Amino acid sequence: MTLPGWLWAIPVFGLMIFAHELGHFLAAKFFGIRVHEFALGLGPAVAGFTRGETRYNLRAVPFGGFVRMAGMDPDDPEEPGGLYTKPLHARALTFLAGPLMNLLLASLMFSAYLYVQGVDVPVLGRVMADCGGQVCPAAASGLQPGDRVLSVGGSPVDSWTDIVERIAASEGAPLEVRFERGGRELSAVVTPAAVDGRYVIGARAPRSLWKALALGPAVTADGARTWAVWLWEAVTGRTEAQLTGPVGMTRAIAAQASAGLSNLLWVTGVLSLNLGLFNLLPIPALDGAHLLFMAVEAVRGRRLDPERVNMVHFVGFLLLMGLMLAVTCGDLRAGLLG
């Protein structure tokens, strides 16, 4: 893992936090809720500006952020445009918008990953000229973009993944590649080259922006289902809950950034998905708890005591900080021992 890989954690965390808080902010503005401050980071403000009724601040600690809306503090006067002067559905959607923006960001990151990786079909999308200072085997053998690969090394292929696996298994031995071009079946002998510890021929899968955009939400939905299953099994004791804090996530970002752009896109999507789903849990201080209290309010037909609700959120915040500290210590210990 390189130093630039570690530094990638800053924009990745910043992007996820910005997306989350932007969701709250845009929903608040849409429903006419006054926003006093939009902040990225925690601690003292180091830079900022005021536009209209809102102060936009960048704070010293680059983890976390918040949108401070009028009426959130029990001591705030019930001024027009305050959070609790708005209908229940408007307040609920304002709190729900943050996690939803994280899920949207995850979908976009997965789509970007799929676009960079290319469509998983046995067709050459790009044939490169240079492979680590030498002519790429695909170009040297006369392969061209658009060629549909039928078999590699005598084994039929049905996807780009099949092609990559056949090339990796060759360990540099010459392979016969049978392909279709312009309705004719042709063949070429390709000798994979070793580049950065893996065997390649210097060709990439075709890219499709629309297909990548269509598949991103499906990957997000599959990830959400997997996360829900994991949570249920952890709660019921069927599996051990392994939590990762900022240090562990930074280590994961650094490792994937060092491995390349596509890996960085994927890990950003996974982390944003987890952040959005985690915030939907009914734990005090999280958006899910706000939504739970609003559901109780809807059933009771009247608002809960604001001071008691704020006290529950405050206690929940302290417990979450304690959990984060414990997880961070565990991540540091694992890093030192590893």
Q: Is 18 exposed, middle or buried (0-12, 13-18, 19+ CB in 10 A)?
A: middle
Q: How far apart are CA 164 and CA 30, in angstroms?
A: 48
Q: Collect all residues with Cβ–Cβ distance below 8 Å to 32 and sequence separation of at least 6.
A: 81, 86
H or E element in which residue 327 lies:
helix 306-337
Please list the residues that pair with 311 across neighbouring strands: none
**Segment holding 132, helix H or strand E:** none
- How far apart CA 288 and CA 149 sit, in angstroms, is 50
Helix (H) or strand (E) holding 58: strand 54-69
Q: Residues 274, 268: contact at Cβ < 8 Å?
A: no
Catalytic residue at 21? yes
Q: How large is the C-alpha radius of gyration of the chain?
A: 25
9, 209, 279, 307, 325 from 252: Cα distances, Å: 9, 27, 20, 40, 18
**Residue 326 structure tokens:** 């414990």
Q: How far from each other are the two terminal CA atoms of the chain, in whole angstroms?
A: 14
Q: Please give the Cα distance from 88 to 70 (Å, whole number).
A: 16
Please count the CA atoms within 13 angstroms of the CA of 62 that sit on its side-chain side: 13
Write down the catalytic residue from 21, 37, 78, 180: 21
Place of tokens 């959990």: 323
Q: What are phi and psi of 193, to 5 degrees?
A: -105, 145
Residues serving a catalytic function are 21
